[in-house]
Amino acid sequence: MDGQVRGKGYSEITQHYPQPGWVEHDAEEIWSAVQGSARGALDAAGAKPSDVRAIGITNQRETLVAWDRKTLKPLTHAIVWQDRRTADECARLRDAGHEKRVRDVTGLVLDPYFTATKLAWVIKNVKGASNAALGTVDSWLVARLSAGRDHVTDASNASRTSLFDIGRGVWSEEMAALFGVPLANLPEVRDSSGEISRSDPAAFLGIDAPISGIAGDQQAALFGQACTTIGMAKNTYGTGSFVLMQTGAQRVPSSAGMLTTVAWRRAGRLSYALEGAIFITGAALQWLRDGLRIIDSASEAGPLAASVPDSGGVFLVPAFVGLGAPHWDAYARGTIVGLTQGSGRAQLVRAAVEAMAYQTRDVIEAMESDAGEPLRELRVDGGAVVMDVLCQFQADLLGIPVRRPRQVETTALGAAFLAGLGAGLWKDADLEALWKLDREFEPSMSRDHADSLQAEWRRAVERSRNWIR
């Protein structure tokens, strides 16, 4: 029980784009991928189903699934967190003056990123949805794992729906009425660690084990980074990037474009975090690979970016689905500025990598303003942090150490830690010892130069927000 990874399984799932701004997944494909990945992890570890002591779940938080309660068949494709189909509805609610109340109750802003307007859209547009089970991906997986016995979620996922009163820790009848969502269709909210559900061996690879840990992906990463002390923060660089700062039992309101969210609920007690959600970071590299075809694989990005000293004045603002924190502009669009005849593949890839760090600094400065104190270090994880050039540039821009753990898949690690604690396999005091440092990146750039670069980045962001003019 040393917290080391014994085996891994991995399965990609397909992104569907049926209309501009719409992003969907096949929920059945998600379930098949979970089964295949779990089977692969068992095989890699040389383990049997009877060896499994606990199951942890982590998931894309705001993605919506609707399914038939009896057959467990999805009624339509899952609507992914990146989907923007409800942007106009969010604008309508904002224009009607509802945003302040939504923020006061839920800690969130009015944006199509969150689940509530997706739920309302499905109820209006999908046959049978008014009687269906509705929930985020964790709820869908628990339903399949338990053969339909349980319809549950945890507080961290519930807090991302715009329907959860994060102060009282319950579904909000007021928000349900505002968005037009029946509470009866939503899952029961349970702790993030403890006795949550149990897998049915006939439904899940012969495994009979407690589901004792559930957390949304970014809260799971915060836990996996051992950020349990107030003021600690992490950033996960994935398709998007998400900065979370632990605030403990204190619910810190934001006046700088951050979100106030539930970090987790354990033994009935809520812990909170400030969050800055950046919609596109690693996905920009996927675009360079699949859209422009200037790289063959994402693994080329780090070496290519490091092959030049800087981006040569090129800035890529990857507002492909609008901008998240701290701007919350659903109508911003991707922009490249600073191109010259000397700009090549390396400069454009470098600009995409640097954009991850620029966006992170914007979020962290807003977060520091809300929290009233400076960040002392940033723990980083996710697939992109294998790029030393990114980690060093991030430390340079922030002027603080950036710490990369040995296990960069801390989202999965956090789910495992929550499950292990919930099943009594570890104690809280074990958590920091289970976290292992790989490398610390110290800032090496002058503050004046870092500030100058950030100012140029912000001018590029303004171009992306005013592209129609």
- Tell whether 18 is covered by a domain: no
d(CA 440, CA 464): 33
Q: Are 380 and 241 in the same domain?
A: yes
Q: Are 162 and 291 in the same domain?
A: no
Q: Are 253 and 288 in the same domain?
A: yes
Q: Is 240 in a helix, a strand, or coil?
A: coil
Q: Domain holding 58: CATH number?
A: 3.30.420.40
**pLDDT at residue 469 tops 60:** no
pLDDT for 405-422, tens place per residue?
998 888 999 999 999 999
pLDDT for 368-388, tens place per residue?
999 888 999 999 999 899 999
Per-residue confidence band for 12, with pLDDT thresholds at 50, 70 and 90: confident
- Cβ atoms within 10 Å, residue 388: 14
> Which of 208, 235, 270 is the C-terminal boundary of a domain?
208
pLDDT for 275-298, tens place per residue?
998 999 999 999 999 999 999 998
- Tell whether 378 is covered by a domain: yes
Q: Are 244 and 199 in the same domain?
A: no
> Which of 153, 176, 208 is the C-terminal boundary of a domain?
208
User: What average pLDDT does this structure show over 88-109?
Assistant: 95
Overall number of domains in the chain: 2
Per-residue pLDDT, 26? 97
On the 0-12 / 13-18 / 19+ scale of CB atoms within 10 A, 193 is buried
pLDDT for 307-366, tens place per residue?
999 999 999 999 998 998 999 898 899 999 999 999 999 999 999 999 999 999 999 999
Q: Are 163 and 246 in the same domain?
A: no
Q: Give the N- to C-terminal CA distance of the chain in Å, as an integer.
A: 59
Say what the pTM is.
0.88
Q: Please, what is the average pLDDT of the chain?
A: 94
225 DSSP β-pair partners: none
- Tell whether 220 is covered by a domain: no
Q: Of 426, 428, 434, 430, give the one whose Cα is nearest residue 405.
A: 434
pLDDT for 39-96, tens place per residue?
999 999 999 999 999 999 999 999 999 999 999 999 999 999 989 999 999 999 999 9
**pLDDT at residue 450 tops 60:** yes
- Tell whether 4 is covered by a domain: no
Q: Is 309 in a helix, a strand, or coil?
A: coil
Q: Are 196 and 281 in the same domain?
A: no
Can you say how many angstroms the Cα of residue 37 is from the centroid of all Cα atoms in its chain? 20
- Tell whether 3 is covered by a domain: no
Q: Are 153 and 245 in the same domain?
A: no
**pLDDT at residue 1 tops 80:** no
- Tell whether 282 is covered by a domain: yes
Q: Are 63 and 171 in the same domain?
A: yes
Per-residue pLDDT, 429? 78
E strand intervals along 342-427: 378-381, 402-405
d(CA 377, CA 379): 7
Percentage of the chain lying above the pLDDT 90 cut: 87
Q: Of 273, 276, 275, 278, give the one whose Cα is nearest residue 239.
A: 278
pLDDT for 112-155, tens place per residue?
989 999 999 999 999 999 999 999 999 999 999 999 999 999 99
d(CA 127, CA 216): 28
pLDDT for 241-270, tens place per residue?
999 999 999 999 998 889 999 999 999 999
Per-residue pLDDT, 449? 98
Percentage of the chain lying above the pLDDT 70 cut: 99
Per-residue confidence band for 468, with pLDDT thresholds at 50, 70 and 90: low
Measured CA distances, 364 to 245, 255, 260 (Å): 9, 13, 14
- Tell whether 166 is covered by a domain: yes
Q: Domain residues for 266?
A: 226-469
**Phi and psi dihedrals of 234, rounded to 5?**
-135, 160
Amino acid in position 57: I
Per-residue pLDDT, 407? 87
Per-residue confidence band for 467, with pLDDT thresholds at 50, 70 and 90: confident
Q: Of 321, 233, 414, give the one whose Cα is nearest residue 19.
A: 321
